[in-house]
């Protein structure tokens, strides 16, 4: 009887782990979807592909900024998943540099989804990869909820 109880608790823990990590597959949105969703939320979106001219694997790039210019969210669509993974890893270090000073941080690393978010008393930084897309924001903690709203609307 004790053995069955232990197995049941173990299975329950594993199931809980899947629920907590959000085991469903995330779907990448197109750059057009990012643009329209950000605009719906009141952001002004500009095409920033020109700043990536020397990176042939960057296919689309947009920067969304709120009316006060206090929130900026960058969206980049790359040629394929491998380029996106490499791009994510290279830029993840910028966020990781703030972990020691942070009051909270999240790091998720799944097959088609990677995320790192760092928060302190004054800032909120997040970089997310879904498929061949990257979403990045570096803003004040006061703007965290607005960034999270955009992230959630995109399904990221």
20 assigned to some structural domain: no
The pLDDT, as a whole number, for residue 23 is 54
The pLDDT, as a whole number, for residue 34 is 98
Tens of pLDDT, residues 124-152: 999 999 999 999 999 999 999 999 999 99
The CATH number covering residue 91 comes to 3.40.1000
5 assigned to some structural domain: no
User: What b/e readout covers 51-77, taking b as 16+ CB neighbours within 10 angstroms?
Assistant: eeeeeeebbbbbbbbbeeeebbbbbbb
Q: What percent of the chain has pLDDT over 70?
A: 83
Return the sign of the alpha-carbon dihedral for residues 39, 125, 123, 145. positive
Question: Is the per-residue pLDDT at 15 higher than 50?
Answer: no
Q: What does the pLDDT average to over 29-46?
A: 97
17 assigned to some structural domain: no
CA distance 64 to 41: 10
The pTM (predicted TM-score) of the whole model is: 0.80
14 assigned to some structural domain: no
Question: Is the per-residue pLDDT at 8 higher than 70?
Answer: no
Domain count, the chain: 1
Domain that holds residue 40: 25-154
Q: What does the pLDDT average to over 48-59?
A: 96
CA distance 107 to 7: 29
């Amino acid at each position: 009887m004790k053995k069955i109880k232990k197995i049941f608790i173990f299975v329950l823990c594993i199931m809980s782990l899947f629920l907590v990590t959000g085991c469903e597959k995330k779907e990448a949105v197109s750059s057009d979807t990012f643009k329209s969703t950000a605009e719906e939320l009141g952001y002004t979106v500009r095409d920033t592909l020109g700043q990536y001219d020397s990176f042939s694997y960057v296919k689309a790039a947009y920067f969304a900024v709120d009316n006060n210019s206090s929130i900026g969210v960058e969206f980049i669509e790359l040629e394929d998943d491998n380029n996106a993974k490499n791009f994510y890893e290279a830029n993840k270090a910028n966020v990781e540099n703030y972990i020691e000073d942070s009051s909270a941080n999240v790091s998720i690393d799944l097959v088609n989804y990677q995320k790192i978010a760092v928060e302190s008393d004054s800032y909120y930084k997040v970089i997310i990869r879904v498929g061949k897309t990257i979403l990045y924001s570096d803003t004040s903690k006061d703007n965290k909820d607005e960034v999270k709203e955009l992230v959630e609307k995109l399904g990221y």
